[in-house]
Amino acid sequence: MNNDLELGQSRLLEVDNRVLVPAKSHIRIIVTPADVPHSWAVPSLGVKCDAVPGRLNQISISVQREGVYYGQCSEICGTNHAFTPIVVEAVPSKDYGSRVSNQLIPQTTGEASAEMKE
């Protein structure tokens, strides 16, 4: 929602979990939906792939520059699904492993630990 936006973030384009990829590597992406047909599109990477329930489609990308790439679902996929945002973040290959680990296992801060003790 709008209240969740931080300074500099784009309305209707931010996601909770970005797709992390290593930069300067060939990547194969397998696309399938969990609900209805979608179309996974990131124009700045030059990719658009239909996501069809019960099917696996694949696309290949090679992101040459580190950075953040925005896209949206480009299928009319249903009520409350319109403009589903997609964010792909290309990170240096040397940082990729630690970034994925941090995304899968969020690090707790000292503050959070203190709150839990109370």
Reduced to 3 states (helix: H, G, I; strand: E, B; else coil), residue 58 is strand
Other C-beta atoms closer than 10 Å to the C-beta of 40 total 24
Instruction: Please tell me whether residue 63 binds Cu ion under the rule CB under 5 A.
Output: no
Q: Which is nearer to Cu ion, 35 or 102 (CB)?
A: 35
Nearest distance from residue 2's CB to Cu ion, in Å? 21
Residue 38 interacting with Cu ion (CB under 5 A) = yes
- Residue 84 interacts with Cu ion (CB under 5 A): yes or no: yes
Q: Which is nearer to Cu ion, 57 or 98 (CB)?
A: 57
Q: How far is CA 53 from each of CA 34, 40, 56, 77, rounded to the nearest angstrom?
A: 7, 13, 8, 12
- The single residue among 42, 47, 49, 77 that binds Cu ion, judged by CB under 5 A, is 77
22 binds Cu ion (CB under 5 A): no
Adjacency order of strands within the sheet including 67-73: 19-22, 85-91, 67-73, 38-42, 47-51
Name which of 73 and 88 has its Cβ closer to Cu ion.
73
Torsion, Cα 118 103 66 96, to 10 degrees, reads 120
Find the part of the chain contacting Cu ion (CB under 5 A) among 19-27, 33-41, 56-64, 106-114.
33-41
As a whole number of angstroms, the distance between CA 11 and CA 7 comes to 11
Nearer to Cu ion, 68 or 82 (CB): 82
Q: Which residues bind Cu ion (CB under 5 A)?
A: 38, 73, 75, 77, 81, 84
